Amino acid sequence: MWFWFGVAALFLLLEMATGTFYLLLVALGLAASGTAAYAGLSLVWQIISGLAVSLVGLVALHRYRQSKGQVPTQSNPNVVQDIGRSVIVDAWDENGQVRVFYRGANWSARIDAGQPAQPGEHYIQAVQGLTLILRPGRYPASDTRH
Protein backbone atom coordinates (compact mmCIF):
# COMPACT_ATOMS: atom_id res chain seq x y z
CA MET A 1 0.00 0.00 0.00
CA TRP A 2 2.69 2.51 0.97
CA PHE A 3 4.59 1.69 -2.20
CA TRP A 4 1.68 3.03 -4.32
CA PHE A 5 1.40 6.23 -2.32
CA GLY A 6 5.18 6.76 -2.36
CA VAL A 7 5.40 6.38 -6.13
CA ALA A 8 2.32 8.65 -6.48
CA ALA A 9 4.12 11.32 -4.46
CA LEU A 10 7.19 10.94 -6.68
CA PHE A 11 5.07 11.43 -9.83
CA LEU A 12 3.38 14.43 -8.22
CA LEU A 13 6.80 16.01 -7.63
CA LEU A 14 7.79 15.26 -11.23
CA GLU A 15 4.53 16.85 -12.37
CA MET A 16 5.32 20.02 -10.49
CA ALA A 17 8.71 20.15 -12.24
CA THR A 18 7.34 19.63 -15.76
CA GLY A 19 3.98 21.41 -15.72
CA THR A 20 2.06 18.86 -17.80
CA PHE A 21 -1.12 17.23 -16.59
CA TYR A 22 -0.12 13.74 -17.73
CA LEU A 23 2.09 12.94 -14.77
CA LEU A 24 -0.67 14.21 -12.49
CA LEU A 25 -3.00 11.64 -14.05
CA VAL A 26 -0.44 8.91 -13.40
CA ALA A 27 -0.11 10.11 -9.77
CA LEU A 28 -3.90 9.97 -9.36
CA GLY A 29 -3.92 6.44 -10.79
CA LEU A 30 -1.18 5.38 -8.39
CA ALA A 31 -3.12 6.90 -5.49
CA ALA A 32 -6.17 4.91 -6.60
CA SER A 33 -4.03 1.77 -6.59
CA GLY A 34 -2.89 2.63 -3.07
CA THR A 35 -6.49 3.13 -2.00
CA ALA A 36 -7.38 -0.26 -3.49
CA ALA A 37 -4.48 -1.82 -1.56
CA TYR A 38 -5.70 -0.14 1.64
CA ALA A 39 -9.16 -1.63 1.00
CA GLY A 40 -7.55 -5.09 0.83
CA LEU A 41 -8.07 -5.77 -2.88
CA SER A 42 -5.71 -8.08 -4.74
CA LEU A 43 -2.75 -6.82 -6.79
CA VAL A 44 -4.70 -7.32 -10.02
CA TRP A 45 -7.51 -5.03 -8.81
CA GLN A 46 -5.00 -2.50 -7.52
CA ILE A 47 -3.46 -2.27 -10.99
CA ILE A 48 -6.85 -2.21 -12.72
CA SER A 49 -8.10 0.60 -10.47
CA GLY A 50 -4.97 2.66 -11.14
CA LEU A 51 -5.23 2.18 -14.88
CA ALA A 52 -8.95 3.00 -14.87
CA VAL A 53 -8.47 6.26 -12.97
CA SER A 54 -5.56 7.30 -15.18
CA LEU A 55 -7.45 6.50 -18.40
CA VAL A 56 -10.63 8.29 -17.28
CA GLY A 57 -8.51 11.32 -16.42
CA LEU A 58 -6.76 11.15 -19.80
CA VAL A 59 -10.09 11.03 -21.66
CA ALA A 60 -11.44 13.94 -19.60
CA LEU A 61 -8.29 16.00 -20.24
CA HIS A 62 -8.41 15.23 -23.96
CA ARG A 63 -12.07 16.26 -24.23
CA TYR A 64 -11.44 19.44 -22.26
CA ARG A 65 -8.56 20.44 -24.51
CA GLN A 66 -10.61 19.72 -27.64
CA SER A 67 -13.49 21.82 -26.35
CA LYS A 68 -11.16 24.81 -25.84
CA GLY A 69 -10.17 24.87 -29.52
CA GLN A 70 -6.42 24.75 -29.07
CA VAL A 71 -4.25 27.29 -30.85
CA PRO A 72 -1.14 25.59 -32.26
CA THR A 73 1.78 26.24 -29.92
CA GLN A 74 4.05 27.67 -32.62
CA SER A 75 1.56 30.52 -33.30
CA ASN A 76 0.29 31.10 -29.76
CA PRO A 77 1.49 34.49 -28.43
CA ASN A 78 0.98 33.27 -24.84
CA VAL A 79 3.59 30.56 -25.43
CA VAL A 80 6.04 32.02 -27.95
CA GLN A 81 7.32 35.48 -27.02
CA ASP A 82 8.23 36.30 -30.62
CA ILE A 83 4.69 36.25 -32.03
CA GLY A 84 3.69 39.72 -33.18
CA ARG A 85 7.20 41.20 -33.12
CA SER A 86 8.27 43.26 -36.12
CA VAL A 87 11.10 42.58 -38.54
CA ILE A 88 12.18 44.36 -41.71
CA VAL A 89 12.53 42.39 -44.95
CA ASP A 90 14.71 43.91 -47.67
CA ALA A 91 14.00 41.33 -50.39
CA TRP A 92 12.64 37.77 -50.66
CA ASP A 93 14.31 35.02 -52.66
CA GLU A 94 12.43 33.04 -55.33
CA ASN A 95 11.31 30.45 -52.71
CA GLY A 96 9.72 33.02 -50.39
CA GLN A 97 12.58 32.82 -47.89
CA VAL A 98 14.89 35.43 -46.40
CA ARG A 99 17.44 36.01 -43.61
CA VAL A 100 16.31 38.70 -41.15
CA PHE A 101 18.12 40.36 -38.26
CA TYR A 102 16.07 39.80 -35.09
CA ARG A 103 17.04 39.79 -31.39
CA GLY A 104 20.70 40.34 -32.21
CA ALA A 105 21.06 37.46 -34.67
CA ASN A 106 20.29 36.46 -38.24
CA TRP A 107 17.23 34.22 -38.51
CA SER A 108 15.83 32.17 -41.36
CA ALA A 109 12.35 33.32 -42.26
CA ARG A 110 9.71 32.50 -44.82
CA ILE A 111 6.49 34.12 -45.88
CA ASP A 112 3.27 32.62 -44.52
CA ALA A 113 1.16 30.63 -46.98
CA GLY A 114 -1.06 32.82 -49.12
CA GLN A 115 0.75 36.05 -48.26
CA PRO A 116 2.47 38.30 -50.80
CA ALA A 117 6.28 38.21 -50.72
CA GLN A 118 6.97 41.95 -50.66
CA PRO A 119 9.73 43.93 -48.92
CA GLY A 120 9.03 46.08 -45.89
CA GLU A 121 7.77 45.63 -42.34
CA HIS A 122 6.51 42.17 -41.40
CA TYR A 123 5.39 40.59 -38.15
CA ILE A 124 6.13 37.13 -36.84
CA GLN A 125 3.03 34.96 -37.21
CA ALA A 126 4.59 31.70 -35.98
CA VAL A 127 7.90 30.04 -35.17
CA GLN A 128 8.56 26.60 -36.64
CA GLY A 129 11.80 25.21 -35.30
CA LEU A 130 14.41 27.88 -36.07
CA THR A 131 12.38 29.50 -38.86
CA LEU A 132 10.22 32.59 -38.41
CA ILE A 133 6.94 32.59 -40.33
CA LEU A 134 6.22 36.18 -41.44
CA ARG A 135 3.21 38.16 -42.60
CA PRO A 136 3.36 41.65 -44.10
CA GLY A 137 2.29 44.68 -42.06
CA ARG A 138 1.76 45.06 -38.33
CA TYR A 139 0.45 42.52 -35.85
CA PRO A 140 -3.36 42.86 -35.88
CA ALA A 141 -3.99 42.06 -32.20
CA SER A 142 -2.07 44.93 -30.64
CA ASP A 143 0.46 47.62 -31.43
CA THR A 144 2.08 47.19 -27.99
CA ARG A 145 4.10 44.04 -28.90
CA HIS A 146 6.82 46.01 -30.75
Judge whether residue 145 has pLDDT over 50. no
107 Cβ neighbours under 8 A, 6+ residues apart: 87, 99, 100, 101, 130, 131, 132
Percent of the chain whose predicted confidence (pLDDT) is above 90: 52
| pLDDT on residue 94 | 86
- Condensed to tens digits (0 to 9), the pLDDT of residues 19-64 reads 778 899 999 999 999 999 999 999 999 999 999 999 999 999 888 8
**Dihedral angle over CA of 124, 126, 128, 130, nearest 10:** 20
* List of domains in the chain: 2-68 (no CATH), 74-136 (2.40.50.140)
Q: How confident is the model at residue 70 (pLDDT cuts 50, 70, 90)?
A: low
